[in-house]
Structure formats: structure tokens, C-alpha cells
Structure 1
Amino acid sequence: MKRFVIADDHEVVRSGLRALVETRADWIVSAEAVNGEQAVALTLETRPDVVIVDYSMPLMNGLEVSRRLKSKGVQAAILVLTMHENEELLTEAILAGVRGLLFKSDAGKHLIAAIEALLDGRPYFTGVLMEKLLHHYQTNKQNKLDVVLTPREQGIVQLIAEGHTNRSISGILKLSVKTVETHRASAMRKLGMSSTADLVRYAIRKNLVAP
């Protein structure tokens, strides 16, 4: 029996994914999560074979979920669903330990094939993003690289854009307020930004949060 965790903040999406997964008699969804923090907790609790996680989720996006799980030694394959055609996302996903990346719009046609690949130990990345990744490396080979935030800085920027205060973020991430302030200041310095509004616009542009 292969077990799955599904993480998406929309119930209708979770129900649809569960229905697709459980068309196989030996596949079962053992838990559903509505945000990134819950996805990590339920994965650690139920130890599934595959975690299917939406990229854009409250508290922690899909890539941060993967980073957290990998840092805790979780062996489950991570399949991230996204609506964004962004070659940078594929690069970040690979670095975060994600084994599969699939457009949400393609889930009905390709979800089973993606899961089968992951269970077989093979990666599965949607073809369009692979083409974009190649184009990205070809066109940016001699160009200056974009500013890169650390995973922690990116996670804090996402939470700021979701409306959380420094104190609230410290509770969510189990960090001191001073540490949150330090990461926040570092992100703003790297990005050349001076206000929360600038960080929110950056988060929207990078698809960390929905506009």
C-alpha cells in the first residue's frame, strides 16, 4: 500500500487530487493539509511515500515544505503542483529537493504518470518548464544573476507579504523576534527595498503569494 499526503488550501482541489490518487486500489491518501506548516507536521506524523503539495500555500510554500522535510531526513518524494510557467521555479525546486513539478492544469492528465515515476525513483518535471529552464540558462549564461535570497529570507518575505508581524513570524518559525528582524533586514538590503509594500510587491512578482 502506497500512502500519500495532499496539501492545498482549497478543499475542492484536495478532493479532486484524492479522487485521482485513489483510483488505484493500492494507493491511499493518509492525510490532507491546508497550509505548509500542517503539511510538514502531517508528513512527519504519517510518513507517506509521496507528498503532493501546492506551490502557493499559506505560511510556507511548497518549496519551503520540501526543504523542511528534507532537513528532517524525510525520504518521501515531493511532487509540487504549480500554476506558474517560471523557469526559475524549476531551478529552485530542484535545489529544494523536489522530485516532481507539474502544472495544476495538467494534473488530470499527468498526475498518475508523475506519481508512478516518483515511486519508481525517477524525477518528473513538466516538459514546458524543462524547455524554459534550458532557455533560461542559455539566455542568462553571460548575464548578471538575479539577487538570491536564502530559503529562510524567502520564507520570511512570504509571511510578511501574507500580513504577519515580526512577532507572529517568530512564533510560526520558532525564531526569536530579533532573528526575524535580522533576516528581514538582510532580504530588504539584498533587494534594495525600504518598505513592507516593496516586499509585498516582490513576493507577488515571484509568485510567493497570490495578488
Structure 2
Amino acid sequence: MQHPLILTGVYKGVTMGKNLKAYDEVCDCMGIFDDLTGTIGMVDDDRRSLDSLERLVLEMTPGLRIAWSVIDGPRAVSLTLDARTRPDLVLVDLSMESMSGVMVCRRIRRRDSMVKLLAMTSFAKETFGFDVAQAGAQGLVSKNDEQEILEGLATVLGGGVYGDFGFVDARASFDQLAHETPKRADLVSNREVQVLDLMSRGLTDLSIAKRLGIKAATVRKHAQSSMQKLNAENRVQAVLKWTGHHTEDGMRRQG
């Protein structure tokens, strides 16, 4: 159940002098999450939703640090797979245009056995539950239930799983995916992921080179390699296949 004071935002205006009982309830609720520590990344293509999530985490979990929050899936994958920006947990919205949340989880889990993945949705959980569990996530929460988001964060950061769709821990989900026949996109290296991410945002080879601290010729080499691995005829098709907007055989996905 969502705490009513969290739901309405009343806790922001409560003072001991005006409502001692309400103040005590707020303190008790916040205390549940005081011991949470670690770093989290967030991805949701709704900026307002991200802002609300950031406020929730900062106000209710003082021990957590937000490593980054981004509005597109490819960027989240790139940041997670980079050791310099890898958080302890990634909070992933499942309904995004740039790359579906299920695919974000799968792209990360195929390459990383440590980072924890917590998915969130505004739809019925049954819509995505089993798919996101098979994609390597450790839990699924409702975007409309702040208390559930906090409970999910606490559970998954603590090494548990949250939900009834067959979720397993990060290492076990990594091992499960390792036994699957790899798809072309799974063969793309972490550096190629970074290049594809920046290409998807329209950066030139020179700009990508400066951003990654490599030569423009090296950028072209990575782009060519990713095109070959994805069986893409050009860079645009490579980006579309990487983000999931084209299937393995190059046909455009519907919907």
C-alpha cells in the first residue's frame, strides 16, 4: 500500500507544531528507507516523470545517490556498461520510444552480471512481467505507486527480487541469458555500444571521437564493425537494429 502522506505530498508541509501525529507517521515512513545506500541510474523518456522520481529518491532515501538520469534507452545502456558510470542499480521504464525497457534490460544483462535492474510500468504488470524477468531484471514496480518503488529499490538493492514473474538475482539472470543463442546485437562490443549511442543522437565522427577520447578513424572502425555484426547496410540501419526498431532480418518492427 502507498503511504497516504507520500501520495499527497503532505509530508512536505507537516510541522511538529501543527500536526504531531502526522509528523510522527512521516518520520516512521521515511525511517524504513534511511539505511538504503548505493548508486542508481534512471531511464524514462518522460522528463517530468524522471524529475518526480529524482525528488522521491532524494527526499525519501538520503543514503542513495543518483549517478545519472537519462531520457533514452541507448544512452542508459551505454552508461551502465561503462565502468566509470556504472551504478549499483538501474531503474528502467518499460515504455520508451528510443528503445523498449525490456530491450534495455536485455542489452545490459547480456554483458553485465552485477548491476541490478528494476523495471517500472504504468500499465498492468502482467503486460511486461514475464518478458522483463526473462530479459534479466530483478523486479517490476508500478510507476503510480511511490511506496512500491521505494520497496522495490530496497529489496533489489539488498540482493532480493521484487514481483511474482520468475525474477532471479543478477548473476542467475546473466547465466540464464548466457545459455541462449546470441543474437547479432549481443555481439556488439561495449565500445561499439557507446559509438552507436552517440550516432543515434546525431553526433559526427569527430564529435564522437572527442567525447570518447579516441581518434575519428577509430570511430569509423567501430561503426563499420557494428554494421557488420548487425548485418546492416549503413549506419542508420545499424542504429535502428541496435535500438530494436528493425528486426534481425532488417524488417521494420510494427507499432
1:56 aligns with 2:72: yes
Using a 3 Å threshold, how does the CA distance of structure 1 residues 177 and 5 change in structure 2: closer, same or farther? same
* Residue identity matched to 1:177: A
- 1:32-181 alignment, distance < 5 Å: 49=65, 51=67, 53-54=69-70, 56=72, 61-68=75-82, 71-72=83-84, 76-83=87-94, 84=100, 86=102, 89-94=104-109, 95-96=111-112, 97-105=114-122, 106-109=142-145, 110-119=148-157, 121-124=158-161, 130=167, 144-147=181-184, 148-181=187-220
Amino acid at match of 1:180: V
Q: Determine if contact 1:100/1:125 at 8 Å carries over to the other structure.
A: no
Q: Distance in 2 between matches of 1:150 and 1:179?
A: 14
Kept in 2, the 8 Å contact 1:50–1:77? The answer is no
Between the aligned partners of 2:55 and 2:202, the Cα distance in structure 1 is: 33
User: Secondary structure, in 3 states, of the residue corresponding to 2:91?
Assistant: strand
| Amino acid across the alignment from 1:163 | G
Identify, as 1 or 2, the structure richer in helix. 1
Unaligned ranges ≥5, structure 2 = 1-33, 95-99, 123-141, 247-254
CA deviation string 1:87-109 (max 9, x = no partner): x5434333334212212432333
User: TM-score by structure 1 length?
Assistant: 0.63
Indicate the SS of the match to 2:89: strand
Note closer, same or farther for the CA distance 1:205–1:114 as it changes in structure 2 (3 Å cut): same
User: What is the aligned-residue RMSD (CA, Å)?
Assistant: 3.9
| Matched residue type, 2:115 | V
Partner secondary structure for residue 144 of structure 2:
helix
- How far apart are 1:11 and its partner, in Å? 3.9
Choose 1 or 2 for highest CA Rg. 2
Matched-pair contact (CA < 8 Å) for 2:78–2:197 = no
What 5-or-longer segments of structure 1 have no aligned partner?
30-47
1:149, 1:187 within 8 Å by CA — same for their partners in 2?
yes
How many residue pairs end up in the alignment?
176
CA distance in structure 1 between the aligned counterparts of 2:245 and 2:107, rounded to whole angstroms: 12
Gap change, CA 1:182 and 1:125, over 3 Å in 2: farther
Inter-partner Cα distance in structure 2 for 1:152 and 1:19? 32
One-letter code aligned to 1:149: V
TM-score of the superposed pair, with normalisation by structure 2: 0.54
The aligned residue for residue 37 of structure 1 is none
Q: Would the aligned equivalents of 2:223 and 2:235 in 1 still touch at CA under 8 Å?
A: no
Deviations 1:107-163 (A, max 9, x none): 3333101221244x31546655849x99xx69x97x853112112112212221221
Q: Which residue of 2 aligns with 1:32?
A: none
Query: Within 1, Cα distance between the matches of 2:77 and 2:210?
Result: 20
Determine what percentage of the aligned residue pairs are the same residue. Answer: 14
CA distance in 2, matches of 1:50, 1:125: 21
